[in-house]
Amino acid sequence: MRSQVSRNSSTSIESLIDRWWKLSQRSSYFSNDRIYALASPVGGAICVLRVSGDELIPLLKSLGFSASLETFNPKTLCRLKIISPVTQLPIDDAMFSYFQGPKSYTGEDVIEFFLHGSSAVVSELIEALRYLGCRQALAGEFSFRAVRNGKLTITQAQAVAELISAKNTEAVSVAIEKLEGTQQAFLVEIAEELRNLAAFGELSIDFSDQDVEEVSLPRLQKRLEALLRKLERLQGSFSRGQLIQDGVKLAILGLPNAGKSSFFNYILGEDRSIVSTQAGTTRDVIRETLTLKGSLGKSVTLRIQDTAGVRGATDEVEKIGVARSIKAAIEADLLLIVTDPTDEESRREWPNFIQALSAGINLQGRVAEGRVFLVHTKKDLQLNESESTARNLFIDQTRVSFSKVIEVSSLSGEGVSQVVDSVVLRSLELMGREQGEIILTRLDHLQAVSETISHLSRGLKTRTEDLFAADVRQGLVSLGPVIGDTLPDDILGKIFSEFCIGK
Ligand SMILES: Nc1nc2c(ncn2[C@@H]2O[C@H](COP(=O)(O)OP(=O)(O)OP(=O)(O)O)[C@@H](O)[C@H]2O)c(=O)[nH]1
Ligand SMILES: [Mg+2]
């Protein structure tokens, strides 16, 4: 980059490049540089670029802003013909909002430019900002500054990142509740009680021979036990948090040629899996992630898997495929078993299929939990009387009482919305989150809570006050990353580096 610019620029530009170079070398979350980042992609009608730093009015002036500060109304949209301080040429006829610190997202002065979205406009403004001493923000640096300046807690900043990457309505609800501070309040309360218990534990060392009931070890341990139960409930919520965040695993299984891949493709809305009249077309597990919205307006993310038809294969490769299908069934949260009632061989082979599946998973148990849907495909094909009774045959033959039996056509789409509704509804039930319930969604938070639990469990069994106090204090330290207390710089840097640039 250096050589490219110096080849066609004057010496003064070269010294500028040197300045940029030095700036980029000392980029760190802990600097006070003026930072900029795109808040939306280039190429649309409007592109949003944000700048944050101390004292940004002079920077605005350097870009051509000349209105009197008395009449200038911050936080409104203002029009500005941006002039390049480098070339003195116009960059854009744009709009901007100015938020004077500390009343801004970062707590510093913030300008949001609403530019015409061409890359030419955007790159000219970026060049001008660099000339004026700004540098490209690091990932999450705006949120980092918001935390540093007391505008957000770490949990809230993480919630901002989660909100940006939220894939479904539940993930949005959880992130918004975190942003509103509900989760923080719950954890701060727990931390406060731990602090009290540790202090009482230390105090009780002095009173241990005087039998003061209030600070007696059994009394303190009883209070600790109540806290421990709360933390264990929180720890247990992680598996549901993962379903919300990462998605519910749904495996499509069935005999060869049942119509699994056709149904998979229909749900995805694209020709993802190969479909053919040949039995045994799909050999591997094909995975896709998609978000489905049910008729009640709530959406869930599904990690949907098309699998090889399960049969007693002789072909070496097909055998591996069948083993993978069973593995997918074992790992799935929900199973969608696809059958073709129009196919005589399918009806004959059905008991063998159920047997093969049952050898891998507890099918009856899954059915009892409402995790298995039976989908009869090819509804568009005319069934004669005996074929029509074949649908029930699938159920009668194996005495598996599937909780939901739906007929669909992957050609016309008939019945598919019913499957979607049932899957979304059941997925929401599996997530089982009540409105406002605190739920763990991050692995690092799970680890922190689990560590806290193990310290506190020790404290529950200890026979001496000093060990009790030490265990509670250790528990408190372990909880630090979740409540955002006392985080070393390297951990802080790591947290924010996971964010997207511009947030
Ligand atoms: N009329 C009709 N034909 C269908 C429907 N679904 C699938 N088919 C046809 O049934 C045949 C098998 O479909 P696939 O989707 O490849 O079946 P599969 O279960 O994935 O098969 P394998 O991968 O071999 O296990 C193809 O010829 C499809 O066009 C349907 O709803 N209606
Ligand atoms: Mg297939």
Residue 6 has pLDDT above 50, yes or no: no
Q: Is the pLDDT of residue 491 over 60?
A: no
- Most ligand 1 atoms within 8 A of CB, residue of 261, 262, 379, 380 to mutate: 262
Q: What percent of the chain has pLDDT over 70?
A: 83
Residue 325 CB-half CA count within 13 A: 30
> Exposed/middle/buried for 492, CB within 10 Å: 0-12, 13-18, 19+?
middle
pLDDT category at 489 given cuts 50, 70, 90 is: low
Q: How confident is the model at residue 415 (pLDDT cuts 50, 70, 90)?
A: very high
Q: Tokens representing 217?
A: 């070890």
Highest mean pLDDT among 54-58, 386-390, 435-439: 54-58
Report pLDDT for 260: 97
Q: Poorest-confidence range of 22-36, 303-317, 438-452, 479-493?
A: 479-493
- Cis peptide before 41, with omega less than 30 degrees from 0? no
How remote is the CA of residue 261 from the centroid of ligand 2, in Å? 4
What confidence category does residue 20 fall into, taking pLDDT thresholds of 50, 70 and 90?
Answer: low
Q: How many CB atoms lie within 10 A of CB 150?
A: 9
Given a cut of 70, whether residue 52 has pLDDT beyond it is yes
What pTM did the predictor assign?
Answer: 0.76
Ligand 1 pocket: which of 257, 326, 336, 379 to mutate (most atoms within 8 A of CB): 257
Query: 386 pLDDT band (50/70/90 cuts)?
Result: low
Is the distance from CB of 433 to CB of 244 less than 8 angstroms?
yes
The reply to whether ligand 1 has any atom less than 6 angstroms from the CB of 85 is: no
CA of 91 to the centre of ligand 1 (A): 57
Cβ 481 vs Cβ 16: under 8 Å = no
DSSP-assigned letter for residue 383: P
Q: Is 196 in the pocket of ligand 1 (CB under 6 A)?
A: no
Confidence of residue 8 (pLDDT cuts 50, 70, 90): very low
pLDDT of residue 64: 92
Q: Is the CB of 277 under 6 A from ligand 1?
A: yes
* Most informative mutation of 255, 273, 275 for ligand 1 (most atoms within 8 A of CB): 275
Is 415 touching ligand 1 by the criterion CB < 6 Å? Answer: no
Which among 418, 404, 413, 235 is positioned nearest to 334, based on CA atoms? 404
For the chain, the average pLDDT equals 85
**Predicted pLDDT of residue 312:** 87
Nearest CA to ligand 1 atom 16: 275
- Cα 128 to Cα 113: distance, rounded to the nearest angstrom: 13
pLDDT at site 2: 38
Ligand located closest to 277 CA:
1
* 254 Cα: distance to centroid of ligand 1 (angstroms): 11
Give yes or no for residue 245 CB within 6 A of ligand 1: no
Residue 499 has pLDDT above 90, yes or no: no
492 lines ligand 1 (CB under 6 A): no
When pLDDT is cut at 50, 70 and 90, the band that residue 14 belongs to is low
Q: How far apart are CA 169 and CA 442, in angstroms?
A: 17
Q: Is the pLDDT of residue 214 over 70?
A: no
Residue 239: phi and psi, rounded to 5, are: -60, -35
pLDDT digits 0-9 by tens, 177-205? 888 887 778 888 998 899 888 888 887 76
Q: Is residue 23 predicted with pLDDT exceeding 60? A: no
Is the predicted pLDDT of residue 302 greater than 60, yes or no? yes
Residue 56 C-alpha to ligand 1 middle, in angstroms? 63
Does residue 5 surpass a pLDDT of 60? no
Residues 6+ apart with CB under 8 A from 213: 219
Question: Which range is least confidently modeled, 231-245, 293-307, 425-439?
Answer: 425-439
Distance 200 CA to ligand 1 centre (A): 69
Q: Average pLDDT of 92-118?
A: 94
Cβ(36)–Cβ(51) under 8 Å? yes
Q: Does residue 122 have a pLDDT over 50?
A: yes
Ligand 1 atom 21: residue of nearest CA: 257
- Asked if residue 414 has its Cβ within 6 Å of ligand 1, the reply is no
The phi, psi pair for 164, rounded to 5°, reads -65, -35
Task: Report in angstroms the alpha-carbon separations of 23 from 59, 131, 141, 145, 232.
Answer: 17, 11, 15, 18, 47
